[in-house]
Amino acid sequence: MPVCRPPAAPPVASIAEAIEQMREIEAALVPTDGVACFNRMYLEVTQQVSEHLAQGLFADPQFMSCLDVVFANLYFAAVNAAGSGTPVPAAWEPLFASRATAGIYDIQFALAGMNAHINYDLPLALVQACKQLDTAPDDGTHHDDYQKVDSLLDAEEQSVRQSFESGAALNADRSVEPVLDLVDNWSINSARDVAWDTAAALWRCRDIATVQDLIMGGLARTVAMASRCLLVVVP
């Protein structure tokens, strides 16, 4: 099946622009596209973060807004690369390579996207946001605010899982049981804990490019391997 490709877009400068860009990606892709499956989940979470920012949930809204924008732009960069036919980052390659593969469920695509975006992109986004705002990961309320997003992500993940499980039960499809076993072994909150630790390590060696390259190179391969496991076609 041919893969639709959204037009390349410049980096966004606000959460509102990020939400609009995700909506444009959604409109450009067929619903069964693996990237679309992740994009739907990411759009929902980003909208919730935006609402909570407006409601004053975060102690440092400037930091959280900056982090959200930098984070989203890393995903958009992968989408733009795929759209232009250039190589996507290694951590994203399994999702983009499998996006049109039959026999992979929506939940597998969604979690593989989360795996790449959280485990690989999020540490980079944290370091970039801190540099932009002349702060550090351990300063102020950064970690507390960071953890407040966990509950939003956990709720969204559970919603996706429940939707999948309900649909599978209605279809009496026993073939989904291996998929449930597969995705149950991946946790968004655990991934975010690891991402924070990785960001702390990157921050401490931010002036040593060779060490940063070694950390991120090894991480990209590990994240890609995990995504390939999540995206296995279950007979």
The confidence score (pLDDT) of residue 170 equals 47
**C-alpha 133: how far from chain center:** 22
Q: Compute the mean pLDDT over every residue in the chain, rounded to the nearest whole number.
A: 89
Tokens at residue 74, please?
């890393």
Q: Is 4 part of a structural domain of the chain?
A: no
What is the C-alpha separation between 106 and 34, in angstroms, rounded?
Answer: 7
**Lowest-confidence pick of 1-15, 26-40, 79-93, 95-109:** 1-15
Cβ count near 138 (within 10 Å): 10
Q: Is 222 part of a structural domain of the chain?
A: yes
Cα 167 to Cα 65, 106, 126, 171, 207, distances in angstroms: 35, 11, 36, 6, 50
* Number of folded domains that form the chain: 1
Cβ count near 205 (within 10 Å): 13
| Cα–Cα nearest to 165, from 107, 115, 110, 113 | 107
What is the C-alpha separation between 34 and 18, in angstroms, rounded?
Answer: 19
Residue type, 21: Q
Q: Is 2 part of a structural domain of the chain?
A: no
Are 192 and 118 contacting, i.e. CB atoms less than 8 angstroms apart? yes
DSSP H helical ranges for the chain:
15-28, 34-54, 61-84, 93-98, 106-116, 122-133, 142-170, 177-183, 188-204, 209-230
pLDDT tens sequence across 44-82:
999 999 999 999 999 999 999 999 999 999 999 999 999
Q: Domain span at residue 186?
A: 15-230
Are 83 and 45 contacting, i.e. CB atoms less than 8 angstroms apart? no
Q: Is 5 part of a structural domain of the chain?
A: no
Are 70 and 125 contacting, i.e. CB atoms less than 8 angstroms apart? yes
What is the C-alpha separation between 156 and 149, in angstroms, rounded?
Answer: 11
Tokens at residue 38, please?
């992740």
Are 105 and 179 contacting, i.e. CB atoms less than 8 angstroms apart? yes
pLDDT tens sequence across 97-154:
999 999 898 889 999 999 999 999 999 999 999 999 999 999 999 999 999 998 777 7
Residue type, 95: L
Q: What is the pTM of this model?
A: 0.91
Residue 53 or 185, more confident: 53
What is the C-alpha separation between 32 and 111, in angstroms, rounded?
Answer: 15
- Rg, Å, the chain Cα set: 17
Q: Is 100 part of a structural domain of the chain?
A: yes
Q: Which residue has the tokens 């991402």?
A: 195
